[in-house]
Amino acid sequence: MRNSLIVILAGLLLCGCKSDEGTSLVGNDSNTASTTGNNSPSISGNPPPAILAGEFYDFEPEASDPDGDTLTFSVANKPNWATFEASTGRLYGQPTLDNIGEYGGIVIAVSDGSATNSLAAFNIAVTQAALGNVTLSWIAPTQNADGSPLTDLAGYKIYYGKDSGTYDHEISIDNPGITTYVVDNLVPDTYYFAATSFSFTGVESAYSGEAVRIVN
């Protein structure tokens, strides 16, 4: 029988770090349709602003062309530890301790062969230590999904990642009495959190509502 963890998006109490409104790095609209009737391609995306040394950095912008033209990408001020794909605009790599520092003025552009558009310039900080943290709080469930009393609650799992609905980190809490947890060692970025509960037999609930937090 599946049990349900009573965690709603609005019910997750997130604290312990500063936050501000996210800024979307959208394409520069300075390029307009040419006299030949060609329309400029569009590009958008939010490159992660920081990465821990030893972790994998991966960003790929979204781009399209209203005329259906083939698109190619270029990058200016590419970090020396990163690889760039001209066919997709993907920037990725795994910096080491030797790469610690700030890499600024990075610009990814897209072209349809006639017109060019680009993201706003962005920076990537490679750090050795991450000091950001987020505190999650929830209400312990008392009922199974069918409304019957929950008598075998064993603990919770916290899932989080940098993309909504995609959680590449998992934390297991094997104590049903714990209802608060601090997720630490976070570099500046936007994080998405969800939680589940599980029984002694290993039955796990569905995800709770998603909570989002900006760490800076």
List the CATH number of the domain containing 142: 2.60.40.10
Instruction: Kindly state whether residues 64 and 155 are assigned to the same domain.
Output: no
Instruction: Kindly state whether residues 138 and 201 are assigned to the same domain.
Output: yes
- Residue 208 has what pLDDT? 87
- Residue 63 has what pLDDT? 96
Instruction: Kindly state whether residues 95 and 148 are assigned to the same domain.
Output: no
**Rounded average pLDDT over 109-123:** 96
User: Which of 127, 145, 165 is a domain's end point?
Assistant: 127
Instruction: Kindly state whether residues 171 and 186 are assigned to the same domain.
Output: yes
**Rounded average pLDDT over 207-211:** 88
Instruction: Kindly state whether residues 116 and 165 are assigned to the same domain.
Output: no
Would residue 188 count as lying in a domain? yes
List the CATH number of the domain containing 85: 2.60.40.60
Instruction: Kindly state whether residues 110 and 134 are assigned to the same domain.
Output: no
Quote the tokens at residue 154: 């064993």
User: Which of 106, 127, 148 is a domain's end point?
Assistant: 127
User: Which of 91, 110, 127 is a domain's end point?
Assistant: 127
- Residue 36 has what pLDDT? 57
Instruction: Kindly state whether residues 203 and 145 are assigned to the same domain.
Output: yes
Instruction: Kindly state whether residues 167 and 117 are assigned to the same domain.
Output: no
- Residue 166 has what pLDDT? 92
**Rounded average pLDDT over 149-177:** 92
Closest Cα to residue 77, out of 134, 20, 123?
A: 123
pLDDT at 24 over 60: no
Residues 73-103: tens digit of each pLDDT: 999 999 999 999 999 999 999 999 999 999 9
pTM, full prediction = 0.59
Percent of the chain with pLDDT over 70: 83
Chain centroid to Cα 13, Å, comes to 19
Residue ranges making up the domain that contains 111 = 25-127
Would residue 166 count as lying in a domain? yes
The domain total for the chain is 2
Using alpha carbons, list the distances in angstroms from residue 116 to 59, 105, 162, 199: 20, 18, 29, 55
Q: Calculate ∠ Cα 63-64-67, nearest 5°.
A: 155
- Residue 109 has what pLDDT? 97
- Residue 189 has what pLDDT? 86
Q: Are strands 169-173 and 180-186 parallel, antiparallel or unpaired?
A: unpaired
